[in-house]
Structure 1
Amino acid sequence: MGARVVSGLRARMEASLDRAGIALPWWVPVAASAFGVVLALVAVVQRGTLVLPAVAGLLAIVTALGWTVTGIIAPPWLKALTVLVAVAILLAEPVVPDFAPVVLVVLAAETAAVARPAIAFTVGAASVATLSVAAARVGLVGFPVYVAAVLLGLAAGFMLRWYVRALDAERAARDAGRDQAVLAERQRIAREVHDVVAHSLSITLLHLTGTRHALQQDRDVEEALEGLAEAERVGRTAMADIRRTVGLLAEAPAGTRPLPGAGDIPALVERTRAAGLVVHYEQEGDPAAVADLAGLGLYRIAQESLANIARHGGGAPARMRLDVGPAGARLVVRNRLPAGGPVGTGGSGLKGMAARAGQLGAELTAGPAGADWVVEVGVPAGGAA
């Protein structure tokens, strides 16, 4: 029951702070208000049971009571006015030691933390003026110490204000960074899915085309069945790759099979050859020396290049070469341009390859070179060591 009451009060206080535009944890203004109320009551008790000090004490705590009862925070200038009047009344009869000036210290800190700087400086000046009048008229003891305390409270309030703003800016930057990271991860996964689907569909279509030719021209049912079986195998492999890639979005991994790397490029070429596309492959160096991330990028670029050749190459032979050395890794894919000239570059395949190269810090060029279309990517030693 008590916990429910406390939770309800906290929720009401937080809501009132939001309405007032005060970006502070709820316990900060609560503690400051409670401290100010205690100081005001002690100052009243120090002066006995006179009516005037009691009225002054009520003025000092009226805004805090109003917040507790109604849930509405008084404007900073109104609270400052009531507290200044209350302290001025109390200082008409100073005591030693006197807690009334300490109320002004709390007021200066509160105002500097939540109000506009002009209001805060005005309240600080009014507090110093009140202490100055009390020191000159009734001989307030400890005037320099009280003035220094008011200035210190003003500085502490401004420091708290700056700290809260800096904390809000840091949180906003962290949220923006998290959103950018999520977007980058989604784009990466989208490229993975695109590469897998594009390549598998291209290889599957090559198998289906071969099957159709086998049935129409050669009447070779056995060869047609082999082509269909290979197309089915490619499709199942593609589905497994897609599940594994999309599984990166989930909390748990979709499987334990590792992602492909540079060492899997020869197998990729073999599958493409099996589908009917002529690919001449050369390799120099050890693909195992290529880092996992760089190897995945090179594999996907090779995969996308072969898929583009299957779609747009017109059946012309292709050449691929992978060089791995101390300076890094370089992949070159070359195929003869079709008779109609260069193919369009408006798809997402080239953009995806460029994005992968950018993630690896690599240089990628893709375009016509004489009678060939050439894709060349070089991963520096930092990505291939």
Structure 2
Amino acid sequence: MLERVVDWVRVRLGASLARAGITLPWWVAVCTNGISLALAGTAIGQRHALLPPVLLVASGVLAAFSMLLWLFTARIAPPWLRSATVIAAMAILLLRPVEPDFASVLLVVLAAEEAAISGPVVVISVGVVSLAVLAAAGWWGGEQGVPLYMVAVLLGLSAGRMLRWYVRALDAERDKQDAVRDQAILAERQRIAREVHDVVGHSLSITLLHLTGARRALQEDQDIDEAVDGLTEAERIGRAAMADIRRAVGLLAGAPTSTRPLPGAGDIADLVQRTRAAGLNVRYEQEGDLEQVGASAGLGLYRIVQESLANIAKHAPEAVAEVGLRAGPDGIRLSVRNGLRPEAPRGAGSGLPGMHARAEQLGAELRAGPQGDHWLVEVTVPGVPAPVAGRAVTR
């Protein structure tokens, strides 16, 4: 039963505070209102024999006005209205001061609360009026300890403003964290989009080369075996591409993905071999020890080569392509060069922006563009300690 009541208060009060633009937690409002009601009830009880019942009832209703308004309408009383009703209730009670006086303490709580949730005009007004009521109670009513109560009101105002500043700083930090999280999510989605683009673009290009070879084998050479080999390789590449796409889409959905390792620099030779088997004339030259290339750098270089070969297959399938990968103590240098057709589109699509984004993630420098009658993609990754260990050339 108690849990249901707490949940009801939390949900209802949280919604009311949000509509009123108050950022304090719901339990803070419960605590301050509970303390205020307890102080008001104590102050009224102290004067049960000093004031007429009608004044005691009036002060109790005024002190509990904001609470009653919320219970019946689910609305938070405006700060000026709550302050006015509480100060009016305390003014009635201070007509007959007692020692110690809990009515004066309630003014301290009111000052702290309004300073935490209200603007400067309301805060200054509450402070001035509270001090005036205390001064009047001390001057005409003989209230004892007025200077102490006044200092307490000022301290309450200071504490409330400090709490307001802290809440605003906390909200700003939360907004900053949300922005950072959104940027991280966007960056991850862009990374996955590049993965899908590279996989789909390369796989479709190589598959089309195999299909073209199979068609020519049937139409021109009547070679069924060669056509079957081309179709089989196209099927294998398509299935592998589907597996990679499922893995990338699984990252977006947060689903478990395949445990197959991501490709790296050592897989570039196999990539070139598969592309050559599809009919593209590609030469590959490698220098250095690729075992020293990190997984992140290796994946980035692999995807850049994959995208470059896909572009060659799409725009210049008859051209001779050259892929060079050199790893040394000063870094890694990757180059992909191919003959350039004058009518071939330059810089169209999202391939080049994707390669630039990958190079930027690696802290590498990428240059892509025409160089004479060739198209050259060149990537330089600095500072990778990879001692030269050998040389491999594939023609």
After TM superposition, the score normalised by the length of structure 1 is 0.94
**1:354 matched residue in structure 2:** 356
**Per-residue CA shift, 1:127-180, capped at 9, x if unaligned?**
112112222333322222211111111112112222222222222222222222
The whole-number CA distance in structure 2 between the counterparts of 1:279 and 1:73 is 74
Amino acid at match of 2:240: T
**2:304 matched residue in structure 1:** 301
2:245 aligned with 1:249, yes or no? no
* Pair 1:192–1:23, CA change in 2 (3 A): same
The whole-number CA distance in structure 1 between the counterparts of 2:20 and 2:273 is 69
The whole-number CA distance in structure 1 between the counterparts of 2:28 and 2:187 is 39
Amino acid at match of 2:108: V
* Pair 1:53–1:220, CA change in 2 (3 A): closer
The whole-number CA distance in structure 1 between the counterparts of 2:111 and 2:179 is 35
The whole-number CA distance in structure 1 between the counterparts of 2:150 and 2:44 is 21
Deviation at 1:383, TM superposition (A): 9.8
Deviation at 1:341, TM superposition (A): 5.1
Amino acid at match of 2:307: E
Kindly indicate whether the alpha-carbon contact (under 8 Å) linking 2:289 and 2:386 is maintained by their aligned counterparts in 1: no
Deviation at 1:363, TM superposition (A): 0.9
Worse overlay, 135-144 or 121-130:
135-144
* Residue segments in structure 2 that go unaligned for 5+ positions in a row: 388-395
Alignment of 1:1-385 (within 5 A): 1-49=1-49, 50-51=51-52, 52-338=55-341, 340=342, 343-381=345-383
The whole-number CA distance in structure 2 between the counterparts of 1:86 and 1:254 is 66
Worse overlay, 7-16 or 23-32:
7-16
The whole-number CA distance in structure 2 between the counterparts of 1:156 and 1:47 is 30
* Pair 1:10–1:233, CA change in 2 (3 A): closer
State, as a whole percentage, how many aligned pairs show the same letter.
62
Deviation at 1:375, TM superposition (A): 0.1
The whole-number CA distance in structure 1 between the counterparts of 2:75 and 2:218 is 85
The number of residue pairs the alignment matches comes to 384
Worse overlay, 141-150 or 300-309:
141-150
The whole-number CA distance in structure 2 between the counterparts of 1:74 and 1:211 is 80
The whole-number CA distance in structure 2 between the counterparts of 1:316 and 1:76 is 77
Deviation at 1:284, TM superposition (A): 1.0
The whole-number CA distance in structure 2 between the counterparts of 1:213 and 1:8 is 75
Amino acid at match of 1:250: A
The whole-number CA distance in structure 2 between the counterparts of 1:19 and 1:329 is 58
Amino acid at match of 1:289: Q
The whole-number CA distance in structure 2 between the counterparts of 1:282 and 1:65 is 83
Query: SS state of the match for residue 352, structure 1?
Result: helix
Amino acid at match of 1:83: V
Deviation at 1:244, TM superposition (A): 2.0
**Per-residue CA shift, 1:236-282, capped at 9, x if unaligned?**
22222222222222334321100101110000011111111111111
Query: SS state of the match for residue 140, structure 1?
Result: coil
Superposition RMSD in Å: 2.0
Query: SS state of the match for residue 279, structure 1?
Result: strand
After TM superposition, the score normalised by the length of structure 2 is 0.91
**Per-residue CA shift, 1:79-135, capped at 9, x if unaligned?**
211222222222222222111110100110111122221111110111112112222
The whole-number CA distance in structure 2 between the counterparts of 1:237 and 1:216 is 28
Query: SS state of the match for residue 30, structure 1?
Result: helix
* Pair 1:207–1:72, CA change in 2 (3 A): closer
Worse overlay, 122-131 or 3-12:
3-12
Deviation at 1:384, TM superposition (A): 7.8
Worse overlay, 267-276 or 217-226:
217-226
Kindly indicate whether the alpha-carbon contact (under 8 Å) linking 1:342 and 1:373 is maintained by their aligned counterparts in 2: no
The whole-number CA distance in structure 2 between the counterparts of 1:260 and 1:361 is 19
The whole-number CA distance in structure 2 between the counterparts of 1:207 and 1:73 is 72
**Per-residue CA shift, 1:331-366, capped at 9, x if unaligned?**
10011112x255321211111111111111211111
Kindly indicate whether the alpha-carbon contact (under 8 Å) linking 2:214 and 2:227 is maintained by their aligned counterparts in 1: yes
Deviation at 1:35, TM superposition (A): 0.6
The whole-number CA distance in structure 2 between the counterparts of 1:270 and 1:164 is 61
Deviation at 1:209, TM superposition (A): 1.9
Kindly indicate whether the alpha-carbon contact (under 8 Å) linking 1:66 and 1:72 is maintained by their aligned counterparts in 2: yes
Query: SS state of the match for residue 87, structure 1?
Result: helix
**2:392 matched residue in structure 1:** none
The whole-number CA distance in structure 2 between the counterparts of 1:176 and 1:382 is 33
* Pair 1:66–1:311, CA change in 2 (3 A): closer
Query: SS state of the match for residue 346, structure 1?
Result: coil
The whole-number CA distance in structure 2 between the counterparts of 1:63 and 1:217 is 91
